[in-house]
Chains A and B, each alone.
Chain A
Amino acid sequence: MTNLTFPRGMTRRGLLKGGVALTAAGLILPAHMALAQTEPKKGGVFRVGIGHGSSTDGYDPGLWDQLFVQTFAAARHNYLIEIAADGNLVPEIAESWDSADGATWVFRIRQGVSFHSGKALTPEDVVASLNHHRGEASTSAVKPYFDPVTDIRVDGQNVVVTLNAPNADFPYLMSDYHLPVMPGTDGKIDPTSTDGCGGYVVESYEPGVQATLNRNPNYWKPDRAHFDQIVLLTILDPAARLNALMTSEVDTIDQVDPASISLLESRGVAKILSISGNAHYCFPMDARAAPFTDNNVRMALKYAFDRQELVDKILAGHGSVANDNPIGPANRYFFAGMEAKAYDPDKAKFHLKEAGMDKLEVTLSAANAAFSGAVDAAVLMSEKAAAAGITITVDRVPDDGYWDNVWMKKPFCASYWGGRPVEDQMFTTAYQSGASWNESFWSNEAFDKLLVAARSELDDAKRREMYQEMQRLVSFEGATIIPMYNNYVMALANTVATPEKVSNNWNLDGFRCVERWWFA
């Protein structure tokens, strides 16, 4: 029922100082996507239909896990640092940040910001907000971020965070959606409070149903939060979301059913916003379990299906072919020239023969909880693989409990990643030997060594080489089939205007559509 999503977005590796632009992340707007370009106007009630949300959604920021609570958080809270639409880190509550050695980070807290309750924001509030996710008793999903943190303290208007080892990416972590700045009392925040310093003040909230927020009249950002009121609605059923948009019950919906995209466009009642990023769908194989221990078997499977077909039929073209590479075209060191893997039953057969087999039978466990269309994708793969003498039995498992009972438990299953703006983050999280989310249990010594070396390499050309080698290793020796990069597909009523650049770091303009968009 509920599409479970999990915190996957990470941060972009950055420099040690806040405010300096990085190489622009590719924002690919399809040619037909000419969105209204006017000066932002104030006013209106902006209603968003979101395909997530449950009546059991809590308030505790440490437990936020899906688009509804994420967007709701972005509407009422501010963070230390914001990731701009172009992928750059820009100041939010932290006016600036600095580190001499990458281990001690100093965040200068903005003055003159107050919470909705009227309380002025102080560095102490920031410390309390961060400490909520830190320590033995914390149940926060981002507790691991704070494992290396040895100390967080206030120094005048600054907050100083000390790490036990240098980490140049630390500011990226501070932009994570789990880490809003909330009012603290005696060094603690009240995790059930909806008080924040964001652009909108909560009027009402029913978990799993809706949240209504009004514009914060005292918002410190003059050029943001254009709507008078926003209403976030949980609409789980894809058809109901479409209907709501078409009957003008809402102004924007997320996760447009791919089958409906062209039909919706032809109606002319709404426009499609299709944002390509590094998000990808994948099928990890357990590299420890036969027959996936043999790279030839893995290669046979990688050649045994048609990637373009998946992009066409599962994504309705709103995505691009991936070459088993978790690093996407929006990444800095994306290896565009890598040898592509076309559908080639003969090559698959060849690899099977190399593995000493003439046919292969595997079971692929999939549920649409992994990603929308996962089961269909598995069926398509199974159909095409037959020509290579590979029998893929598709086992549709219940959506309910998918991440507990199937993912990283069954040897061959479906999964997805929100994509990481920073190569290191992606590889460290899911491909390094022994990483807790290494879903394929793949272990490659050369890869592990390169990963550590690249982290400390400062020469850009050399780093590029190293990362590209890592991408090749993952693609040709790894145990994860990555057939496609999926776009974030949203549908907007014609009255909704967006900036020219819409963030590809998460859905709904990095959750910030409520703050960045306006009615034309």
Chain B
Amino acid sequence: MTEIWRMIGQRLLLGMLTLFIISVVIFGATELLPGDLARELLGQSATEETLAALREQLGLNDPAPVRYWNWLTGVLQGDFGVSMATQKPISELVGTRLGNTLFLALYAAALSVPLSLLLGVLAALWRNSVFDRASNALALTAISFPEFFVAYILILWLAQTGLFPSMVRITGATTTGDLLYSAFLPALTLTLVVTAHMMRMTRAAIINLLASPYIEMARLKGMSPMRVVLHHAVPNALAPIINVVALNLAYLITGVVVVEVVFVYPGLGQLMIDAVTNRDIPVVQAIALIFASAYVLLNLLADVLSTVTNPRLMHRT
């Protein structure tokens, strides 16, 4: 177990390094964007005086490294600062959005992970059968349409017929049940988008093992094909499967801007685009860090799970 803790510690340190690099990259990129927050806020009506007044007010006149340093020291003390545009604490701005994003990600994961694992295992079991080829072709078709296209089609079929709402409204009175119902279409869209990848990888990981001597051994022990796949192949295919699931979960958290826009879902992606458009750099930075942390943590979790499920790593002699 100590090895696991050491690995976790090491990965967390690397994760911190990654986050630092990201914050520099994002800050640098936003600095390079033409225009600044003052211009965006004042828009066309900006005059030199109002611009200068607003810049002074927002602290935009400090040199970039100073602003970065101020931001970084703030973050290290747990203070993400305030949004320049709205002067609200970023934690408040991001808080509910983060919750929404996580909800949608989990919802989609709850639909897609079991589905794709099931399909992947069945496709591996019945490889080269009609089922295998059909599910493969369908999965490929689903990922080869743009996300918004899939979303519109689902709206056409499932929302215009009155089965599900075409957009998500989250108010104080929204219960989890309501939300599960109203967020079904976005979750389904995301499910269609990520299932193919996970399913194909599951299938490939299992089939990859089917040529192993221990699989032949299991068959020679008279085990049924189902038992061979489930009991002998799947436990050994867990590492690649866990990794691909983690990768897709990270995508579900960080990459769903388009789905948010189509279903008017108040998530972090839309907030980040808004912040980029308005050059609200502290908000961009905060969300970039949240996304990156999700990515780093999920990868860490995948590594830990791969280790825990692999006896060769867990039970060293």
- State yes or no: do A and B touch (Cβ within 8 Å): yes
Main secondary structure of the interface of B (DSSP, over half): helix
A208 with B274: CB separation less than 8 A: yes
A138 with B50: CB separation less than 8 A: yes
* CA–CA, A243 and B160, complex, Å: 8
B43 with A235: CB separation less than 8 A: no
Q: Which A residues are within 8 Å of any B CB, using their own CB? A: 1-2, 4, 6-8, 54-59, 63, 65, 136-144, 192, 204, 206-210, 212, 233-237, 239-240, 243-244, 246-247, 249, 400-401, 403-405, 407, 436-437
Chain B, residue nearest A4 (CB): B43
Partner pick for A141 among B42, B83, B93, B155, CB 8 A cutoff:
B42
In the complex, which residues of chain B have a beta carbon less than 8 angstroms from the beta carbon of A2? Answer: 274, 277
A240 with B42: CB separation less than 8 A: no
In the complex, which residues of chain B have a beta carbon less than 8 angstroms from the beta carbon of A4? Answer: 43
Chain B, residue nearest A269 (CB): B160
* CA–CA, A403 and B159, complex, Å: 37
Nearest chain B CB to A49 CB, angstrom units: 8
**A and B contact pairs by CB, cutoff 8 A, 25 listed:** A1-B274, A2-B277, A7-B43, A54-B278, A55-B97, A56-B280, A56-B283, A63-B41, A136-B53, A139-B41, A140-B50, A142-B45, A207-B86, A208-B271, A212-B171, A233-B264, A234-B264, A240-B263, A240-B264, A247-B162, A249-B167, A400-B276, A400-B277, A401-B35, A436-B47
* CA–CA, A517 and B97, complex, Å: 33
* CA–CA, A65 and B43, complex, Å: 8
A247 with B166: CB separation less than 8 A: yes
A55 with B93: CB separation less than 8 A: yes
A244 with B166: CB separation less than 8 A: yes
A58-B85, A139-B57, A236-B261 known; A246 vs B44 contact (CB < 8 Å): no
In the complex, which residues of chain A have a beta carbon less than 8 angstroms from the beta carbon of B35? Answer: 401, 404-405
Q: Which B residues are within 8 Å of any A CB, using their own CB? A: 33-35, 39-45, 47, 49-50, 53-54, 57, 83, 85-87, 93, 96-97, 148, 152, 155, 159-160, 162, 165-167, 169, 171-172, 261-264, 266, 270-271, 273-278, 280, 283
* CA–CA, A399 and B261, complex, Å: 16
In the complex, which residues of chain A have a beta carbon less than 8 angstroms from the beta carbon of B275? Answer: 55-56
Partner pick for B278 among A56, A138, A246, CB 8 A cutoff:
A56
* CA–CA, A236 and B266, complex, Å: 12
Nearest chain B CB to A205 CB, angstrom units: 11
* CA–CA, A99 and B34, complex, Å: 46
* CA–CA, A476 and B50, complex, Å: 36
In the complex, which residues of chain A have a beta carbon less than 8 angstroms from the beta carbon of B50? Answer: 138-141, 143
* CA–CA, A142 and B43, complex, Å: 12
B44 with A239: CB separation less than 8 A: no
* CA–CA, A54 and B279, complex, Å: 12
Nearest chain A CB to B152 CB, angstrom units: 6
In the complex, which residues of chain A have a beta carbon less than 8 angstroms from the beta carbon of B33? Answer: 400-401
Most chain-A CB neighbours within 10 Å: which of B35, B162, B169?
B169
A249 with B166: CB separation less than 8 A: yes
A403-B43, A436-B47 known; A247 vs B277 contact (CB < 8 Å): no
Nearest chain A CB to B277 CB, angstrom units: 5
In the complex, which residues of chain A have a beta carbon less than 8 angstroms from the beta carbon of B276? Answer: 400
In the complex, which residues of chain B have a beta carbon less than 8 angstroms from the beta carbon of A65? Answer: 43, 45
Nearest chain A CB to B69 CB, angstrom units: 24
Nearest chain B CB to A470 CB, angstrom units: 23
How many A-B residue pairs lie within 8 Å, measured between CB atoms?
A: 138
A235 with B34: CB separation less than 8 A: no
* CA–CA, A209 and B35, complex, Å: 25
A-B contact sample (7 more), CB < 8 A, given A2-B274, A243-B155, A244-B167: A55-B86, A206-B266, A209-B264, A210-B171, A240-B167, A246-B166, A247-B162
Chain A, residue nearest B51 (CB): A139
Chain A, residue nearest B85 (CB): A56
Chain A, residue nearest B84 (CB): A56
Main secondary structure of the interface of A (DSSP, over half): loop
Most chain-B CB neighbours within 10 Å: which of A54, A206, A244, A249?
A54
In the complex, which residues of chain B have a beta carbon less than 8 angstroms from the beta carbon of A240? Answer: 166-167, 261-264
In the complex, which residues of chain B have a beta carbon less than 8 angstroms from the beta carbon of A142? Answer: 45
Nearest chain A CB to B46 CB, angstrom units: 8
In the complex, which residues of chain A have a beta carbon less than 8 angstroms from the beta carbon of B54? Answer: 139
* CA–CA, A1 and B275, complex, Å: 11
In the complex, which residues of chain B have a beta carbon less than 8 angstroms from the beta carbon of A55? Answer: 86, 93, 97, 270-271, 274-275
4 tightest A-B contacts by CB? A56-B85, A141-B45, A6-B44, A404-B35
* CA–CA, A143 and B46, complex, Å: 10
Nearest chain B CB to A411 CB, angstrom units: 18
B165 with A249: CB separation less than 8 A: yes
Nearest chain B CB to A48 CB, angstrom units: 13
A233 with B42: CB separation less than 8 A: no
Nearest chain A CB to B70 CB, angstrom units: 20
* CA–CA, A206 and B33, complex, Å: 27
B53 with A246: CB separation less than 8 A: no
A235 with B167: CB separation less than 8 A: yes
Chain A, residue nearest B257 (CB): A1
In the complex, which residues of chain B have a beta carbon less than 8 angstroms from the beta carbon of A206? Answer: 96, 266
Partner pick for B47 among A8, A144, A237, CB 8 A cutoff:
A144
A56-B86, A65-B43, A144-B47 known; A243 vs B167 contact (CB < 8 Å): yes
* CA–CA, A385 and B263, complex, Å: 40
A58 with B87: CB separation less than 8 A: yes
* CA–CA, A206 and B39, complex, Å: 23
Chain A, residue nearest B266 (CB): A209
Chain A, residue nearest B44 (CB): A6
A139-B50, A143-B50 known; A246 vs B160 contact (CB < 8 Å): yes
Chain B, residue nearest A406 (CB): B34
A139-B54, A208-B271 known; A233 vs B169 contact (CB < 8 Å): yes
* CA–CA, A249 and B185, complex, Å: 14
Nearest chain A CB to B52 CB, angstrom units: 10
Nearest chain A CB to B284 CB, angstrom units: 11
B83 with A56: CB separation less than 8 A: yes
Chain B, residue nearest A212 (CB): B171
* CA–CA, A346 and B266, complex, Å: 54
Chain A, residue nearest B45 (CB): A141
Chain A, residue nearest B258 (CB): A237
Nearest chain B CB to A98 CB, angstrom units: 29
In the complex, which residues of chain B have a beta carbon less than 8 angstroms from the beta carbon of A141? Answer: 42-43, 45, 50
Nearest chain B CB to A142 CB, angstrom units: 8
* CA–CA, A59 and B277, complex, Å: 18
B274 with A239: CB separation less than 8 A: no
Chain A, residue nearest B50 (CB): A139
* CA–CA, A8 and B171, complex, Å: 33
A247 with B160: CB separation less than 8 A: yes
In the complex, which residues of chain A have a beta carbon less than 8 angstroms from the beta carbon of B152? Answer: 239, 243
Nearest chain B CB to A269 CB, angstrom units: 10
B87 with A247: CB separation less than 8 A: no
